[in-house]
Structure 1
Amino acid sequence: MSSDDNAAHMKETKEGLHSDHHVDILHAEVLASSDLMNDAFDGENHEHSQGLWQSVKSHPWACLWAFIMCFTIVMESFDMFLNGNFVALPAFQRRYGVETADGKWEIETKWQSSLFQAGQCGAFVGVFLAGPVTNRLGYRWTTILALVMMNATIFISFFANSLTLLVIGQAFEGVPWGFFIANAPAYASEIVPLALRGACTATLQMSWSIGSIIVAAATYGYNKRDDEWSWRVPLALQWIFPTPLMILIFIAPESPWWLLRRGKKAQALRSIERLGSNSNAEGTQQTLAMMERTVEIEKKLGGEPSLLDLFKGVDRRRTIITCLMYASQNFAGNLIANQATYFFEQAGMTSEFAFQLNLINSCLQFVANALSWPLTAWFGRRTIYLWGTATNITLLMILGICASIPQTNSTNYAQACLGVIISFVFAGTLGPISYTIIAETSSVRLRALSTGVGRAAYYVAEIPMIYLASWMLNPTGGNIAGKCGYVWGGTAVVCFVSAYFFLPELKHRSYREADILFNRKVPARKFKSTVIDVRENE
């Protein structure tokens, strides 16, 4: 083919992508064509040059759709915090609890942990189903399917008349949670520009806080009721979310990365155009070429993605980092936040004040989540994670000391305040930045599978930790109250050491650059300083 013929072919290719007809062109063309490669270079350089605020102005719709997808996590958060509040509701305790020696009523440790663990067991199943289903149907239709399941399974919990049936209902509700938590960070990271990946994936933690605020307000409003509606009304509030979210996600654009992996270039281009504002043909073509280049490079490393690919070659390292980040969320004080009301009661607060303090705690977590957005712009992922972990190690040890000295009103309030501060630090650092790291670490080809398996590691770690957390706080168990700070402080030290040696810095790295760094087996502490040229293909 002559140079004139080649130029004409390239012109037809670009015009075809902007036409109304579906045009599928081999990804390999982007690596063989100097024009498309120049577009890919320009697209990547443009992403690197954009700041946080500039990216927000140029991609407001991408921010909106990322937030909506992340908002599905509210439903898992809602249920998790709701169970934590159920065990502190006086009416629920009298209905399903046992009387202790001091005349109070408590839910037995085995049922407490069952209520917490049931949903996680269901979610464990869901995250393994999410990857294959998403690879087949896409992020949108997989999430819509999960929302339909959520609407149906809420009925079991709402009409439950025993702890056994309530536990079963939680297990069934957990399955769609697995779909939400596997897809939300992956989708959010794929539709926003490079500068927004940290802030938008961090909104996952904000969704957790929104869920906890709604639960804290609902249970505080109903905790004085002496009948079954003190817990049935909060359960019914779950129906607020699925149907509106189904409508919004139905009209949302599919991830252009997923569309390209399926060979649907024309649809991918339309999706890119919908995600930006005032986008021009040249800019969208450059973005498309940049994505194609990465997809084609990864395609050369393997064919159709499978779960086994996660544990082969350099992807094994990426999978281990993802799993460690997810699992570590259970080891640095997060479980104190999940059982905040019950923790406050065991720290010596009255039931009424414990619910009030939980509402304050939830609102402060929301503030911390908002503060995490500028943090992701100013500091690296590794820096935020390490400093956040170190801060919570210190606070958890101080909590243990406060619980070890002779107890007075002052030490009780000190323990409650430390519980709030620990939750605040987690919600502003470890929590949101973990989701950012998880979304950025996996390869594009394996992202849907990687986030699912990573979340499975979270549940494997969380299920026994939930039992331990319940046992430590429960008067019918270990009854060590604030001394649990020693335990969580010790596990947080393990998280800090692991991150120091194995967690790479991926801030300002495109997915192509991340692929190259992992393929070269660059040590974690040298990721930040290693220079990758825009023209390198590996």
Structure 2
Amino acid sequence: MKLLDAFRIYPKAMFWSVVLSSTLIMEGYDTAVVGSFNAYPSFLNVFGIRAKDGSLNIPPSWQNGIGAATNCGEVIGLQIAGIVSERMGYRWTIIAALITLTGFIFIPFYAQNLTVFIVGELFQGISWGVFQTMTTAYAAEVCPVPLRHYLTAYVNLSWIIGQFISAGVLKGLVNRQDVWGLWVWPIPIMVGTFLAPESPWWCIRHGHHDRARHALRRLARRVGFDQVTEDRQLALMIYTNEMEKQVAEGISYWDCFRGTDLRRTEIVCLTWMAQTLSGSVVGGLSSYFYVRAGISTSSAYSLSWGQSGIGAAGTIASWFIMNRVGRKQLMCGGMVVMFILLLVAGGMGIPSRPSIATSWTAGTMVLLLSAVGDFSVAPVVYTIVSEIPSTRLRAKSIILARNAYNIINLAFVNIISYRQFNPLSWNWGPKSCFFWAGINLIMNTYLYFRLPETKGRTYAELDILFANHISARKFAKTRIETLQYSAEMEEMDKAQAIEEERADVVPAARADIATSQGEK
């Protein structure tokens, strides 16, 4: 199918995918708001501790605790989502998470101490973990191949939109003493999710073929999607599901580590970990980095707000590049550029007394680092982790990959990164970029040898490539027809060998019978 035909036939699939992805706009908004509370006047008036200079501050240990609670909650929510979604479907799992989130917001809203606030963040993290998986899996399953990378990469854009909105809201409501803005999102998103069709792939996996047909009709316009096309698409989905059942019967977490699915699970987990380990964590803590590099606080927050806008533009630009150069080339190429930027930024921290020029150079490198990451690594990761798994294990594979990402974030962002920048700890300043450049190089080497190219492949084709143990560097050039022909020839050879064996056995058996009768 051509791209223009996909846009013409599947606008409803795009719309419903965007509706469900809006849960991540909400999550990006909420997490950014909570992350900014450390310097927010109304928050500091309630939870801040008076420092020697008279200013109110949140102790570093509590800052780490708030971030860790959120990540731990997301890990729990992700695991719950994998179990519940197999029983209830993607839509009802998201709706249940939205209902619980609406209730969990009451905990930090009425918190009078940081302990209660952290408990609230833990419970909210459970709901946020559900959104991280279901939206990506849904986007991958409701759209045809030409639109797949647009809608899966849009998931990353949703995060950025939420962060950008939060920056404007925090600036505009700086004198307010509440956080009512957290309740704006769940109800309208809940209504939209209720009206959306269920993933047809989920229906096929559970034997609901009539529901799958109904979902296909709701996802496509009747123009260009006639009865013949509908029957053909449904037949292909059933065939793909049956083929995967022959390779791996189960759909549990344990099945993600069996047979060819072990390789797929390894790739999606390490690929999502590479998003943080590429050095993007420096961009995620950009405001703190800018201040530690010597830039004024007001300029630092202005750069961070501009960084969100640049990130959104970068993600949109990636839509038009990803299908031309491919997923692997875009990700590995982006990490090479980020490696160079990290070396330059780290070099600006070598002078013992950084000048204004070196401080702004380091800040500019981090700004470019974030822009390159949002153009390459960040959006392409969502496409890769949704395409690599088998359709029967997609949701659970994405959950495992996202949890690997959250655990790395827990260790590197909440423990290592703050200590690298903090003057009361390691105080590396911009020199910490050298550390991330080394990690970036290690992860990019892994991706070069292990990450396959999935551009333009259907899920059935990817199943065949993995089943035949095609190496990652040969994925793009391998012809499926050749593999199918080889498999058919192998089956014919086996059948012919069996027939020849039977032909040899029958005369020999007859001769033995004749001999025994003659002896008698």
TM-score (norm 2): 0.88
1:82-161 map, 5 Å:
82-89=33-40, 92=43, 96-97=47-48, 106-161=57-112
Distance 1:208 1:400, change over 3 A: same
How far does residue 238 in structure 1 lie from its aligned partner after superposition?
2.1
Q: Aligned to 1:505, what secondary structure does the other structure show?
A: coil
Match for 1:460 among 385, 393, 407? 407
For 2:97 and 2:481, the matched residues in 1 are separated by 41
The corresponding residue for 1:345 is 291
Structure 2 unaligned spans of 5+: 488-520
Match for 2:379 among 399, 421, 432? 432
For 2:427 and 2:34, the matched residues in 1 are separated by 19
For 2:164 and 2:386, the matched residues in 1 are separated by 26
One-letter amino acid matched to 2:153: A
For 2:184 and 2:437, the matched residues in 1 are separated by 37
Question: Is 1:481 matched with 2:481?
Answer: no
User: What is the aligned-residue identity percentage?
Assistant: 33
Corresponding pairs, count: 482
The corresponding residue for 2:163 is 212
1:78-477 map, 5 Å:
78-89=29-40, 92=43, 96-97=47-48, 106-223=57-174, 225=175, 229=176, 232-233=178-179, 236-277=180-221, 278=223, 279-405=225-351, 406-466=353-413, 467-477=415-425
For 2:367 and 2:70, the matched residues in 1 are separated by 25
Distance 1:107 1:404, change over 3 A: farther
One-letter amino acid matched to 1:175: I
One-letter amino acid matched to 2:406: Y
Q: Is the 8 A contact 1:112 1:470 kept in 2?
A: no
When the two chains are superposed, the root-mean-square deviation of aligned CA atoms in Å is 2.0
Q: What whole-Å deviation, never above 9, does each CA across 1:68-104 have from its counterpart, x for those lacking one?
A: 2222112332233223322343664576456667776
For 1:348 and 1:174, the matched residues in 2 are separated by 34
How far does residue 67 in structure 1 lie from its aligned partner after superposition?
1.6
For 1:522 and 1:372, the matched residues in 2 are separated by 27
For 2:374 and 2:257, the matched residues in 1 are separated by 31
The corresponding residue for 2:495 is none
Q: Aligned to 1:407, what secondary structure does the other structure show?
A: coil
How far does residue 499 in structure 1 lie from its aligned partner after superposition?
0.3
For 2:280 and 2:155, the matched residues in 1 are separated by 15
For 1:475 and 1:162, the matched residues in 2 are separated by 27
For 2:173 and 2:281, the matched residues in 1 are separated by 24
Distance 1:318 1:376, change over 3 A: same
For 1:472 and 1:103, the matched residues in 2 are separated by 26
Higher relative contact order (CA 8 A, sep 6+): 1
For 2:410 and 2:383, the matched residues in 1 are separated by 23
Q: What whole-Å deviation, never above 9, does each CA across 1:207-262 have from its counterpart, x for those lacking one?
A: 11011101211222345x4xxx46x33xx322121111110011111111110111
For 2:53 and 2:431, the matched residues in 1 are separated by 21
Q: Is the 8 A contact 2:248 2:259 kept in 1?
A: no
TM-score (norm 1): 0.85
For 2:41 and 2:189, the matched residues in 1 are separated by 33
Distance 1:96 1:343, change over 3 A: farther
Match for 2:469 among 506, 509, 521? 521
For 1:96 and 1:137, the matched residues in 2 are separated by 40
How far does residue 428 in structure 1 lie from its aligned partner after superposition?
1.1
Q: Aligned to 1:533, what secondary structure does the other structure show?
A: helix
Q: Is the 8 A contact 2:149 2:383 kept in 1?
A: yes
Q: Which has the larger radius of gyration?
A: 2
Structure 1 unaligned spans of 5+: 1-49
Q: Is the 8 A contact 1:81 1:338 kept in 2?
A: no
For 2:460 and 2:282, the matched residues in 1 are separated by 38
How far does residue 294 in structure 1 lie from its aligned partner after superposition?
0.1
For 2:271 and 2:31, the matched residues in 1 are separated by 20
For 2:317 and 2:454, the matched residues in 1 are separated by 20
One-letter amino acid matched to 1:68: V
For 1:105 and 1:416, the matched residues in 2 are separated by 27
Q: Aligned to 2:391, what secondary structure does the other structure show?
A: coil
